[in-house]
Structures are given as C-alpha cells and as structure tokens.
Chains A and B, each alone.
Chain A
Amino acid sequence: MTRVALVSVCVVTVLSLAQQQALALEVQITAVEASYEGPSDPRLLDMRPRLRRLVGYRAFRVLQDERRYCAWRSPAAFSLPGGRLVHVMPKGMRGDEVMMHVQVINGPRSLVDTDLRLQNRGYMLIGVDDDVHAPGILLIMLKAVE
C-alpha cells in the first residue's frame, strides 16, 4: 500500500513538472559591455558585425549570461552588473512570436518599460548608457525560446 502511494506521488510530481516545463518559456539574458577598443568575446564573433552596425562600438565582452525558464504571466527578475535589474513577464504566443513585457530598472528609475513581440528563438538588444564614467555602454541581449 505504501509502495503504491509513493509511486503515485512520484508520477504526479513528474507530470506536474513536465506540465510546468511545457508551459514555460526559456528566457536568456546576456549582459555585454560594448566599448570602442579592446578584444571581443569569441562567443560574440558571429554577431560582432551586426552589433557594430547597430551600436556603433567595436569591442564586445560578455559580462554575464543567464538562462532561465519563466512561467507564463509570471514576472521574473534578472540581476545585471551595476545593480540593474531586468524584469521579464512572458504574456503568451501569437503564431511564432513571443509576447513579453520587459522592464529595465536602475535603482528607482525605470530606464525602459516596454511590451514587445519577439520571434520565437529570436533576440533583441537593449543598450543602456547611464554611466558617464564607464568607457562604453551596457548591452542587454534578450532571447526567448518557447
């Protein structure tokens, strides 16, 4: 009798975890320092020409890379270097697009507060230039995989 109860609990746990996993969205936040000179991170070599065109800087260094499953309609916070925060809330799918609410916060200030649609497995960039003493800017790469 005890064995049956244990097996049942395990099955229910596995099923609920699987369901949670199936409903979750994988969000990847990569913090990159963009500057005018210096070596670039080998992980970003493929993207370097595109980043250069978009941002205007020449060197790109990965500061932090975090990947996490986020539940639908639940806010998730990602900490960034310099005390900044990225709040992400996946809102749903529309076709092959992920609808999200994204907020970048620095202390009491909300630097960016936006609702956006991102291609599934696609990414977008948020550049933050809020430190006059920094040699470059902070580049936040946001990627969503359903």
Chain B
Amino acid sequence: MSERVMRCEDAAPLLDGFVDAELEGATLIDVARHAAACTSCDATLQELIALHETLGGHGRADADSVDLSGLWRSLEPQLVQADARRAWRRRLRTTPVWASALAIAASALFFLSPRTAAPPQSVATQVARRPNQAFIERIDSEGGRFELRRDRKNGTMLIMVSATGDDLP
C-alpha cells in the first residue's frame, strides 16, 4: 500500500472541508497528516477551527437569545391567509366547469339586479300609506260601468260610475 504525500497546495483548498467534516475518510486522514507535519497549514487549520467555533457559538447564542414569539404572532395571520389562498386555488382547480359557470352567473345576477333600500318585509309595510288612502274590497254595479281613479299624492279614491253609456269624463 503506497502512502500518499499531500503537499501544501493540495491541502490548502481542503482545509475548510476538513474543519466542516465534509471530506471523505481517506482525504480527511491525508489532510490531518499533512497538517501535523506542516506548521503553516496547521496554523491555518487552527485559525479556521477557531473561526468555525466562534461563528458556531455566536450563531447558537444569537439563536438562543432571539424571541420568536412576537415574530410568529405577526407572521401567523399572513400564513393563514396564504394557506387559505392556496386552499381556494386548490379547490378552484378541482371544481367542475359547470359549477364555476353557475357561480359566475349567480354573481352577475347579484351585481346587476336592482338594489332595495330596506330588507324585504311584508307587502303591507313595503307600500307607503298615503294620508287619505282608501281600499276597495269589493265593488259591483248594475248595468253601469265604473272606473277607479286615485290621487297619487294623497291617495284619495274616486269611483266614477257612468250609467248613460257615454265615455267617462
């Protein structure tokens, strides 16, 4: 088995991978052997390890010190809306074409139909009572003909009877 001798120019690009434990076993051992014999590469390696530990420690400390509860509260509604939008899109994709057409037609009817000012009640309360309004419940005439007229403003009722056969005035 031949022993591979690693030079500084071979080891230098692998030092970061060595510190991060990203190298394969054989390469990792070769870099370790070279660093043990090379003071320059060993010094570089020590700096990298120290930097790695410093960064790692800082990152953990920062992560421990961050309070994410407030961040979550502010993000949660947006996440819910995003989820709802996603669900709606998913539902739309699975809705049959006829159902979509029906929904569009219903929406068009709703927006194009005339609006009423008040919620619907009984017919009696919808019609505004005029001050002199009268109601005919039954009417009959023998031989003559009659015509009902009503004053629009006050609701005054006129029963006009003609027994002469002439046109009503």
Binding site for B on A (CB under 8 A): 50, 53-57, 97, 99, 104, 106, 109-119, 122-132, 137
Contacts and interface: CB of A to CB of B under 8 A. Distances in A.
Main secondary structure of the interface of A (DSSP, over half): strand
Given A124-B156, A130-B144, A112 B134 contact: no
Contacts of B113: none
Contacts of A55: 158, 160, 169
Contacts of A113: 139-142
Interface stretch (B5-13, B16-24, B46-54, B146-154): B146-154
Interface residues of B, number: 31
B162 interface: yes
B13 to A, nearest CB: 101
A124 B163 contact: no
A115 B158 contact: no
B133 A122 contact: yes
A111 B158 contact: no
A132 B153 CA distance: 32
A126 B161 contact: yes
A2 B141 CA distance: 58
29 contacts: A50-B151, A50-B153, A50-B154, A54-B151, A55-B158, A106-B163, A109-B143, A110-B140, A110-B142, A111-B142, A112-B139, A112-B140, A113-B141, A114-B137, A114-B159, A115-B137, A116-B134, A116-B135, A117-B135, A119-B133, A124-B132, A126-B158, A127-B161, A128-B161, A128-B163, A129-B163, A129-B168, A129-B169, A132-B164
B136 interface: yes
Nearest to B163: A130
B169 A122 contact: no
B168 to A, nearest CB: 7
Interface string B108-142: 00000000000000000000000111111111111
Most B CB within 10 A of own CB, among A53, A122, A137? A122
B64 interface: no
